[in-house]
């Protein structure tokens, strides 16, 4: 099965002065059309209306490695699904008289990359200005937490076996060529962050090749893996993690327990037979849920999700 690359339906908003994308528009074209046709639906490959290559370069990545100031958990290396031991890829540094662990060990990173490992920046929006500006520019479109990850992969290696990310994912191909295999959403799809057991079934399997400027959107529940092909590949993954059912339930339960009706029930429940307590509690809970402010609940659930990622 093949996937057609779609052109944006309308002109994107003007990019930043330096031409680097700063908005969702710069990745998918018209956001309204994207949400109507693709969001939470099926994976799709789009052609960004803005040049993506200025977001980050390979030289920048190696300069950051060589600087030696990057610390865990902002970097990792993995090869065929196996992560380099933290003790091997990190070292201790003395900072203002204190011995601090977790700083990047450049020689190990170079050795692992030469052996076919993929080097990964975790959450560069915390410190990389152009990626931070793009993530912040996208945030207004989503009710969830956005994070970014940069992957630098040598050709011919599959960094990780098929897996689910437990989030919506935008893949931005910045440099090189990378083959992606993913599964279309079906009734048995899962939204957990986990390994996909076994091969991706033929009836759901899709294979695409991304080149600089391509954007792959994968909704929640999309199993996937990728292999760099021509030269070193750089792609940026921007994930959108929405509140889980547990997050929503915890917020609603916490707000119910703060409701005066629950306080009143708690004060008198021991005076009633157990079946009557159950009925009264159910009635109070149903009344509370009916009056709950949906926006406030969702905002609190988003905050809870971010705090417990």
Q: Are residues 168 and 275 in the same domain?
A: no
pLDDT interval class at 17 (50, 70, 90): low
pLDDT, residue 235, reads 98
Cβ atoms of 118 and 77 within 8 Å: the answer is yes
Instruction: List Cβ neighbours of 222 (8 Å cut-off, separation of 6 or more).
Output: 43, 164, 165, 169, 182, 183, 184, 185, 189
Burial class of residue 225, CB neighbours in 10 A (0-12, 13-18, 19+): middle
Q: Are residues 26 and 41 in the same domain?
A: yes
* Of 150 and 192, more confident: 150
Nearest to 304 by CA among 230, 256, 224, 242: 242
Q: What is the average pLDDT across 22-48? A: 96
Measured CA to CA, the distance from residue 276 to residue 238 in angstroms comes to 50
Here the CATH number for the domain that contains residue 86 is: 2.60.120.650
Measured CA to CA, the distance from residue 235 to residue 153 in angstroms comes to 9
- Determine which of 83-97, 186-200, 216-230, 285-299 has the lowest per-residue pLDDT on average: 186-200
pLDDT, residue 187, reads 79
- Determine which of 144-158, 188-202, 250-264 has the lowest per-residue pLDDT on average: 188-202
Q: Are residues 269 and 163 in the same domain?
A: no
pLDDT interval class at 8 (50, 70, 90): very low
Cβ atoms of 181 and 229 within 8 Å: the answer is no
* Of 180 and 194, more confident: 180
Question: Token pair 């440099």 is at which residue?
Answer: 175
Q: Are residues 211 and 259 in the same domain?
A: no
- The DSSP string of 4-46 is PPBPPSSPPPP--TTS---STHHHHS-HHHHHHHTTTS--EEE
pLDDT, residue 221, reads 87
Element (H or E) spanning 216, and its range? strand 214-218
Query: Is the peptide bond between 73 and the residue preceding it cis, with omega within 30 degrees of 0?
Result: yes
Cβ atoms of 221 and 176 within 8 Å: the answer is no
Domain boundary among 186, 217, 242: 242
The mean of the pLDDT values for the chain is 89
Q: Are residues 194 and 258 in the same domain?
A: no
Q: Are residues 225 and 251 in the same domain?
A: no
Measured CA to CA, the distance from residue 144 to residue 141 in angstroms comes to 9
Nearest to 169 by CA among 187, 189, 191, 186: 191
Q: What is the average pLDDT across 237-263? A: 87
CA 247-250-256 angle, 5° bins:
140
Domain residue limits at 276: 245-307
Q: Which two tokens stand for residue 215?
A: 């954007």
Q: Are residues 66 and 171 in the same domain?
A: yes
| pLDDT at residue 88 is higher than 80 | yes
pLDDT interval class at 198 (50, 70, 90): confident
Q: What is the average pLDDT across 156-168? A: 86
Q: Are residues 262 and 149 in the same domain?
A: no
Q: What is the average pLDDT across 74-92? A: 94
User: For the whole model, what pTM was predicted?
Assistant: 0.83
* Range among 124-133, 251-260, 261-270 with highest mean pLDDT value: 124-133
pLDDT, residue 9, reads 44
User: How many folded domains does the chain comprise?
Assistant: 2
Q: Are residues 88 and 199 in the same domain?
A: yes
| pLDDT at residue 292 is higher than 80 | yes
Measured CA to CA, the distance from residue 1 to residue 22 in angstroms comes to 32
Domain boundary among 242, 266, 286: 242
* Of 24 and 298, more confident: 24
pLDDT interval class at 162 (50, 70, 90): confident
Q: Are residues 94 and 111 in the same domain?
A: yes
Q: What is the DSSP letter of 194?
A: -
Q: Alpha-carbon dihedral of residues 8, 139, 232, 42, nearest 10 degrees?
A: -50
Tell me the CA end-to-end span of the chain in Å, nearest whole number: 35
Report the Cα 101 to chain-centroid distance in Å: 27
Domain boundary among 242, 275, 294: 242
Q: Are residues 274 and 225 in the same domain?
A: no
Q: Are residues 187 and 250 in the same domain?
A: no
């Amino acid at each position: 099965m093949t996937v057609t690359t779609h052109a944006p339906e309308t002109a994107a908003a003007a990019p930043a002065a330096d031409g680097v994308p700063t908005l969702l528009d710069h990745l998918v074209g018209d956001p309204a059309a994207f949400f109507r046709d693709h969001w939470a639906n099926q994976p799709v490959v789009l052609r960004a209306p803005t040049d993506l290559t200025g977001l980050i370069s390979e030289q920048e990545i190696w300069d950051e490695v060589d600087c030696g100031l990057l610390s865990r958990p902002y970097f990792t290396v993995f090869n065929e699904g196996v992560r380099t031991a933290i003790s091997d890829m990190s070292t201790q540094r003395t900072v203002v008289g204190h011995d601090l662990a977790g700083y990047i060990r450049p020689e190990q990173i170079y050795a692992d990359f030469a052996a076919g490992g993929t080097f990964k920046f975790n959450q560069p929006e915390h410190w990389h200005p152009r990626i931070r500006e793009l993530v912040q520019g996208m945030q207004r479109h989503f009710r969830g937490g956005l994070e970014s990850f940069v992957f630098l992969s040598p050709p011919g290696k599959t960094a990780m076996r098929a897996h689910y990310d437990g989030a919506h994912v935008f893949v931005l191909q910045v440099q090189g060529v990378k083959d992606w295999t993913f599964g279309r959403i079906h009734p048995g799809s899962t939204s957990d962050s986990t390994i996909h057991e076994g091969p991706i079934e033929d009836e759901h399997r899709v294979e695409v090749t991304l080149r600089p400027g391509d954007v792959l959107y994968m909704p929640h529940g999309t199993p996937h893996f990728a292999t760099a092909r021509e030269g070193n590949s750089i792609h940026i993954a921007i994930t959108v993690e929405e509140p889980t059912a547990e997050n929503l339930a915890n917020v609603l339960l916490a707000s119910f327990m703060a409701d005066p009706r629950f306080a009143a029930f708690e004060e008198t429940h021991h005076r009633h037979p157990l079946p009557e307590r159950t009925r009264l509690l159910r009635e109070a809970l149903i009344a509370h849920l009916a009056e709950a402010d949906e926006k406030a609940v969702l905002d609190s659930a988003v905050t809870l999700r971010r705090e417990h990622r």
